[in-house]
Homo-oligomer: A and B are copies of this chain.
Amino acid sequence: MKITALELATLLQAKLEGNPQTTVHKLAKIEESDAESFCFLANPKYYHYALTQPIGILLCNETLEYNAANVGAVLRVKEPYAAFQQLMELYAAMNKPNNLSGVSDKAFVADNASIGNNVSIDAFAYVGKGAKIGNNVVLHAQCYVGEKAVIGNDTVLYAGVKIYHECEIGSRCIIHSGAVIGSDGFGFAPQDDGTYKKIPQTGNVVVGNDVEIGANTCIDRAVIGSTRIGNGVKLDNLIQIAHNVELGDNTAIAAQAGISGSTRIGKNAMIGGQAGITGHLKIGDFVKVQAQAAVIHNIEDKKGISGAPAIDAREHYRQLAAIRQLPELLKKIHTLEKQLQDLKK
């Protein structure tokens, strides 16, 4: 990507200062910029860099001061952050990796799999018997789509994603490398001799539309029925979703959190990193669970909770404050005991 200040100004309907032919070929953080970088400034904390850093083209508000000796061109707009977002999307579209096309002759596609229009399937990807691949789907190298699994339109599976048999992925989803969808739930019946007998996991996983699933995240298939991931859910990396869990629409979960079996989480919940939620709970809509919390009770809508075991977040902060005073408190009580002893005498 090479683009001039004049082209960008036209694109963004920005006011242009400096040399309209200034050319940039990369995005950079302002603190790492050079004369060939495009930068933007929206946060006043970083404004001072405009006075010292070499910058190719700078996108900023209508009044920011800069050092003209160091800056090739300046684009002024009312809302630099919104303009920047617009550009980021453009940039991502132009730099889209692997503009794949068609089905690689090094892929495996079962004879009776159903393949939509304009599908890309890269080398060493695998599409099992009876699987259905929607239109415009991209399966990167080494992906696995098991028997009778379904992939919705416009979904992208990055290299090495594994979708087990009979699982269903919605439209416009993005699934990152190493994610495993549909592995057996952890279900074993203890036997009298101390061994375990496997409980067959006969269900599947159903993932809604517009879902993003992070690298190496695992979602287990249901023992019966379906583990369900709602529309618009966003899952970070290395998350564990156990069998028969249900996640409501637009719920977001940060990395390394784990949800145990049969727990149902409402819509628009936010679960912090490394949090754990035990099984068979009902977590309401718009609930916020802090990082590393250990949730062991049902949670009502809109509650914020933290701690292990997790309680109301404000109550938890009060407890933490009290614990900080605890070593001091021990001394105080010792003093009280002595004073009381003296008084008695």
Considering the complex, which residues of chain A in the window 289-304 have a beta carbon less than 8 Å from any beta carbon of chain B? Answer: 291-292, 294
Distance in Å from the Cβ of A304 to the closest Cβ of chain B?
A: 16
Interface string of A290-334 (1 = CB under 8 A from B): 011010000000000000110000000011111111110110110
Distance in Å from the Cβ of A169 to the closest Cβ of chain B?
A: 15
Indicate how many identical chains form the complex.
3
Distance in Å from the Cβ of A306 to the closest Cβ of chain B?
A: 10
Does A180 have its Cβ within 8 Å of any Cβ on chain B? yes
Does A63 have its Cβ within 8 Å of any Cβ on chain B? no
Cross-interface CB contact of A337 among B123, B260, B267, B336, cutoff 8 Å: B336
Interface string of A159-184 (1 = CB under 8 A from B): 11010111000000010111010011
Interface string of A251-283 (1 = CB under 8 A from B): 010111010100000011000011010100000
Task: Show 7 A/B contacts (Cβ-Cβ < 8 Å), sorted by A.
Answer: A89-B200, A174-B198, A176-B183, A188-B252, A195-B232, A195-B250, A236-B240
A positions within 8 Å CB-CB of B: 27-29, 32, 85, 88-89, 91-92, 95, 97-98, 104, 106, 108, 122-124, 126, 128-129, 140-142, 144, 146-148, 158-160, 162, 164-166, 174, 176-178, 180, 183-184, 186, 188-189, 194-196, 198-203, 210, 212, 214-216, 218, 220, 224-225, 232, 234, 236-238, 240, 242, 249-250, 252, 254-256, 258, 260, 267-268, 273-274, 276, 278, 291-292, 294, 308-309, 318-327, 329-330, 332-333, 336-337, 339-340, 343-344
